[in-house]
Structure 1
Amino acid sequence: MNFRSLEEFWSFYVTQHSKPSTRRWHFVGTLTSILLLLYSFVFNLWFLFFVPLVGYGFAWMFGLMLTGQMDREIKRLGKRPILQGF
């Protein structure tokens, strides 16, 4: 998707996040990232690697599952040139 302005992107973003369940999973991902960040500073800095994976993973995975676009997104990712070698 190519957005020409912030207004185009914002209207698309708001429609994609209109379901309460999508917002709920974004909150869970953000909260988990913050807790994992605090845990990594207190116990082990290697856990910093997982902070963006967990935070974005919750939002991305459950967002796609709740909107029913999982199959389409997997097909789209498979068409990217960087992933064709795998």
Structure 2
Amino acid sequence: MNKNFSNFQEFWPFYLSQHRKKSTRAWHFVGTSFVFLFVILAIFFNVWYLLLAPIIAYGLAWYSHFFIEGNKPATFGHPFWSLRADFQMYGYILTGKLNQELKRHQI
């Protein structure tokens, strides 16, 4: 995955194309939800919960890429844009607008 992008707006459609299968997106949603859970647990109970956030989130996301989607995670080539895109996709899923965004980018 040696794709070069000038900005996040160019990267976003590529990111979506790497998440074509609904189950891949579902695993990402679950992983990102765990991030929020672990942040809350860290605030109220123990800061060590923060260590679990990336382990669980990336573990579930990477599982979905390797075993469901059949591709390499975008994180490998573009870690920061990929993280931003994951939270953006999460927001679109929460608001019910992801299908509209997929259609807009013809994915």
TM-score (norm 1): 0.65
Cα deviation for residue 8 of structure 1 reads 5.0
Q: Which has the larger radius of gyration?
A: 1
Equivalent residue for 1:10? 12
Query: What pairs with 1:1-86 in structure 2 (closer than 5 Å)?
Result: 1-6=2-7, 8-69=10-71
Unaligned runs of 5+ in 1: 78-86
Distance 1:45 1:4 in 2: 36
Q: Which has the larger share of helix?
A: 1
Q: What SS does the corresponding residue of 2:27 show, helix, strand or coil?
A: helix
Task: Let me know the Cα RMSD of the aligned residues.
Answer: 2.1
Cα deviation for residue 4 of structure 1 reads 3.6
Distance 1:5 1:18 in 2: 23
Q: What SS does the corresponding residue of 1:45 show, helix, strand or coil?
A: coil
What is the count of residue pairs matched by the alignment? Answer: 71
* Aligned residue type for 1:51: A
Distance 2:35 2:5 in 1: 31
User: Which deviations, in whole Å up to 9, do the C-alpha atoms of 1:44-73 show, x marking residues without a partner?
Assistant: 11111111221222112222211224xxx5
Equivalent residue for 1:84? none
Distance 2:48 2:3 in 1: 36
Unaligned runs of 5+ in 2: 77-107
Whose relative contact order is higher, 1 or 2, with alpha carbons under 8 Å and at least 6 apart? 2
TM-score (norm 2): 0.55
Deviating 4+ runs (over 6 angstroms) = none
What is the aligned-residue identity percentage?
41
Cα deviation for residue 33 of structure 1 reads 1.2
